[in-house]
Amino acid sequence: MKPTRHQFTVLKQICDLVPPHLVSKLAVEHGVEEKTRSFTPWSHTVALMFAQVSHALSLNDVCDTLDNHSGVLTTVRHASPPSRNGFSNANRERNADMAEALFWKTLEDLQGRFPLFGMGRRYVGFPRRFRKRVINVIDSTTIKLVANCMDWAKHRRRKAAAKCHMRLNLETFLPSFAVVKSANSHDAKEARGVCAGIKAGEIVVFDKAYVDFAHLGELDDRGVFWVSRAKTNMQYEVVREHSPAGGNIRRDVVVRLTGNRAGKAYANGLRLVTADVEVNGKMIALTFITNNFSWAASSVGDLYKARWGIEVFFKQIKQTLQLGDFLGHNENAVRWQIWTALLVYVLLRFIAYMGKWTHSFARLFTVLRGTLWECLDLFKLLDRYGTASPPPRCCAAPEQAYLPGLRLC
């Protein structure tokens, strides 16, 4: 089946998902409009989005390609191709807070107009017994950079990196909070900011790197349930046994922290569960801590296992979008590129939702990347990659053929 022709290119149809006049409004709010001459904020946004969807490798790659298609590019709300110096200067000088605001405003607009957006893409490892609960997963991913060019992001002697701290909603598999900083900031220091919007009754799961007992006490006071792993140096005393061990559960007890700082920071009791878990084909003992005393011990382990969903999310954006080669070396340019990558991810997820896409995110990315300058209907294009038609029906016995003039005895 041939794809249906469309009046505009696939690139324009993707860019049109960004609410009209939102970019110009944010440009005024963040002072970007004042530094603009011929290269408008909307043209800057389109260039960065194109760099993500096309997986462009350099400034010249983006600028030359857009210049070769300058006539078609004007149909994308009058966007214009950038010069190499103009594009580089925009990434370096224009406030990257605008890109962050654009991401959240676009996501808010799509979810406001389509409340079911994302609901059908629940993480496959979502614990079934918590289907009616909101599970937030918190983690960070490190994005490697070039150390000798990026002094602001120096992580170790010969390494440089940026770090993206994120809160992912496992129900929608969409980000609820994100912050981009240099990798030398400790995860525990970012825990309060990442968990700021979590409501009472919701569940948050994070690795032991985010364990800060003062912050955990605040979550407990707010009525938020949390699950994490215990650090090996955690000092505690057993108050009572919560439930008898059995199966793969080695231990399920209620403990009280005895360390000088931890004991003062978290005065409430903790539940400590030790279970045998299969990791890389081997059974090892992992110790979990939580402030919930009503769940089954196996549920605590299942919740922490669901934390792997955010690793799947990071894998999707780092292996498909352009987060391996950066178009600029300073902190502002890197933030522009990371937030634009998250924006493109949300737009592609919305396209998958509207087009009822059943295949992987990576395949959706490759399909659109190869047709950016084609005038094809975006959603009709996705129909070509639907499931195969069912095989012909087999009869248990051959049906009787009717031949005119033939009389059966």
Q: Is residue 69 part of a domain?
A: yes
Whether residues 267 and 345 fall in one domain? no
**pLDDT at residue 331 tops 60:** yes
Whether residues 94 and 24 fall in one domain? yes
| Across 130-138, average pLDDT | 90
Three-state SS for 140? strand
**pLDDT at residue 84 tops 70:** yes
Whether residues 25 and 72 fall in one domain? yes
Task: State residue 148's pLDDT score.
Answer: 44
User: How confident is residue 370, by pLDDT bands cut at 50, 70 and 90?
Assistant: very high
Distance CA 59, CA 86 (A): 10
**pLDDT at residue 59 tops 70:** yes
Range of weakest confidence among 94-108, 134-148, 285-299: 134-148
Q: Is residue 55 part of a domain?
A: yes
Task: State residue 323's pLDDT score.
Answer: 80
Task: State residue 147's pLDDT score.
Answer: 44
Instruction: Give the residue ranges of DSSP H helices in 321-386.
Output: 331-354, 361-369, 378-383
Q: Looking at per-residue confidence, does 383 or 51 come out higher?
A: 51
Task: State residue 139's pLDDT score.
Answer: 93
**pLDDT at residue 122 tops 80:** no
Task: State residue 316's pLDDT score.
Answer: 87
Q: Is residue 38 part of a domain?
A: yes
| Across 336-348, average pLDDT | 94
Q: Is residue 313 part of a domain?
A: no
Answer for the pair 346, 174: CB distance below 8 angstroms, yes or no. Answer: yes
Whether residues 264 and 335 fall in one domain? no
Q: Is residue 171 part of a domain?
A: no
Task: State residue 171's pLDDT score.
Answer: 87
Cα–Cα distances (Å) from 404 to 359, 399, 401, 407, 409, in that order, read 50, 16, 10, 9, 15
**pLDDT at residue 150 tops 70:** no
**pLDDT at residue 387 tops 60:** no
Range(s) of the domain holding residue 70 = 10-99+329-383
Task: State residue 186's pLDDT score.
Answer: 79
**pLDDT at residue 152 tops 50:** no
Task: Characterize the bridge pairing of strands 270-279 and 282-290.
Answer: antiparallel
Q: Is residue 405 part of a domain?
A: no
pLDDT in tens, 169-180: 998 899 999 988
Distance CA 387, CA 379 (A): 15
What is the number of structural domains in the chain?
Answer: 2
pLDDT in tens, 156-173: 544 556 788 999 999 889
Whether residues 15 and 92 fall in one domain? yes
pLDDT in tens, 199-251: 999 999 999 999 999 999 999 999 999 999 999 999 999 999 998 877 889 99
Whether residues 272 and 336 fall in one domain? no
Distance CA 57, CA 325 (A): 6
- Across 62-71, 237-246, 263-272, the highest mean pLDDT is recorded for 62-71
| Across 250-279, average pLDDT | 91
Q: Is residue 346 part of a domain?
A: yes
- Count the Cβ atoms, other than its own, within 10 Å of residue 60: 11
Whether residues 278 and 335 fall in one domain? no
Q: Looking at per-residue confidence, does 275 or 119 come out higher?
A: 275
Whether residues 286 and 242 fall in one domain? yes
Distance CA 341, CA 335 (A): 10
pTM for the predicted model, two decimal places:
0.85
| Sequence-separated (6 or more) residues with CB below 8 Å from residue 140 | 163, 164, 165, 166, 187, 190, 209
Q: Is residue 293 part of a domain?
A: yes
Task: State residue 156's pLDDT score.
Answer: 52
| Across 189-203, average pLDDT | 92
User: How confident is residue 297, by pLDDT bands cut at 50, 70 and 90?
Assistant: very high
